Amino acid sequence: MIVFPLTAALIALVCAAFVGWDAWRRPRPERVAWTVAFAVFAIAAGAEVIGSAVGWNAMLARVYYLTGAVLVVGILALGELYLLFPDRMPAIVPGLALLVTAISATVVWSAPIDQSRLQAEGWGAIERGPVLIALAAAINAGGTLVLAGGALFSAWKLRSAGGSRDRAVGCILIALGTVIVAAGGTLTRFGHREYLYLAMAAGIAVIFLGVLMTRSSWGARRRRRAEAASRSTATASPAARLIPLPERSGNGRVDEGIAYVVGNLLPLAAGEIAEACRLWSASPIAGDALRRDQARDVWDLRLLLDGDAREQFDRLPLSLQAQIAELYRDVWSRSPLDVAHARHA
């Protein structure tokens, strides 16, 4: 039945386009990895559609097996690792991912195919030797463990720290979608291979919904971006963009220093934040450990941030956290009354 793989391919294409556009506008490694994963899944399901519609050949069988049976779960897991450890992943990881992809392609393309079974069984005609079985099992088992375990750990960490409920639910959905995709292979034992795509289409849709919900509460992020944009000029340098505008509430003054950190700094990439801190004269941080006074400043500022902003703050390197905390303490938290007293002292 062609409808299931076709549905899976269309869902995966929509996922790839949406997350890819998000990655293009605000690049992050996990978004790039998930875009590639959704695109790879669409290729796998598309190969099944073509094979079922016009007949299988050796290339279609190998394309499906490489993308759908070997690589896709591993690439999704790579995105999850970047989400879990945003500033701790070694620079060599993309190169290792490409190396594993090249090895997988070599093994799949070297596997013999039983031509007498090809038209009837499609990719099932690939003769899976010990190396190919071990490779597919390692990538899929390891990837499933990372996706499900990492997503559940993220959900627990977010909720125990008082973080965003939407992000916690999103992490749980990623774990659930991973289990659904992994169950697809089990469903084929009931005698209908199309069950694989029924499970995979549902699983990839659930994962996609989870990815959407981990985007730091959509509405809150849009509001922060709009506030940041309203305080900046489109063509100015980082120094000119970061011009604070006082915020007022209906009951009077709010903490303008916190509003400035949340609206003008946290939406930026880490490199932009570092440049902004340098231009604001933040002290350089030597080494990878903070002094006790710097640690206290970081913790004090962290306690003043709400759930979503605190999570963004926690993702930054400690050196950037310390520079922001120093600027908040010495510059942005000073009230006009403090400044007036200092001038007359």
Quote the pLDDT of residue 36.
Answer: 93
- For 163, left (φ over 0), alpha (ψ -120 to 50), or beta? beta
Q: Is the pLDDT of residue 282 over 90?
A: no
Distance CA 325, CA 317 (A): 12
Listing DSSP states for 143-172 in one string gives HHHHHHHHHHHHHHHHHHTT--HHHHHHHH
- The reported pTM is 0.60
User: Of how many residues is the chain composed?
Assistant: 345
Q: Tokens 């031509």 label which residue?
A: 115
- The mean pLDDT of 276-299, rounded to a whole number, is 85
Distance CA 115, CA 122 (A): 10
Q: Are 38 and 67 in contact (CB under 8 A)?
A: no
- The mean pLDDT of 149-177, rounded to a whole number, is 69
3-215 in CATH: which number?
Answer: 1.20.1070.10
Distance CA 308, CA 166 (A): 10
Split at pLDDT 50, 70, 90, the class of 148 is confident
Q: Are 139 and 70 in contact (CB under 8 A)?
A: yes
**For residue range 330-341, what is the model confidence (pLDDT) as tens digits?**
888 765 544 444
Quote the pLDDT of residue 66.
Answer: 93
Helices 307-315 and 292-304, packing angle to 10 deg? 150
**For residue range 310-329, what is the model confidence (pLDDT) as tens digits?**
888 988 888 889 999 998 98
Name the residue type at position 199: A
Distance CA 305, CA 160 (A): 16
Listing DSSP states for 194-253 in one string gives HHHHHHHHHHHHHHHHHHHHTTT-HHHHHHHHHHHHHTS-TT--HHHH------EETTEE
Pick the most confident of 59-68, 118-127, 182-191: 59-68
Tell me which of 62-76, 111-125, 129-143, 176-190 is least confident: 176-190
Distance CA 19, CA 157 (A): 24
Percentage helix, strand, coil for the chain under 3-state DSSP, each rounded to 5: 75, 0, 20
Q: Are 19 and 79 in contact (CB under 8 A)?
A: no
**For residue range 154-166, what is the model confidence (pLDDT) as tens digits?**
667 666 655 556 6
Tell me which of 65-79, 101-115, 138-152, 307-321 is least confident: 138-152
List CB contacts of 243: < 8 A, sequence separation 6 or more: 231, 232
Q: Are 268 and 231 in contact (CB under 8 A)?
A: no
Q: Is the pLDDT of residue 231 over 60?
A: no
Residues forming a β-bridge with 249:
252
Q: How far apart are the first and last CA of the chain?
A: 83
Provide the Cα torsion 89, 90, 91, 94; round to 10°. -70
Pick the most confident of 181-185, 216-220, 320-324: 320-324
The backbone torsions φ and ψ at residue 220, rounded to the nearest 5 degrees and listed phi first, read -65, -40
Name the residue type at position 37: A
Listing DSSP states for 282-331 in one string gives PPPPPSSS--HHHHHHHHHHHHHS-HHHHHHHHHS-HHHHHHHHHHIIII
Distance CA 94, CA 304 (A): 36
Domain spans in the chain, listed from the N-terminal domain onward: 3-215, 219-344
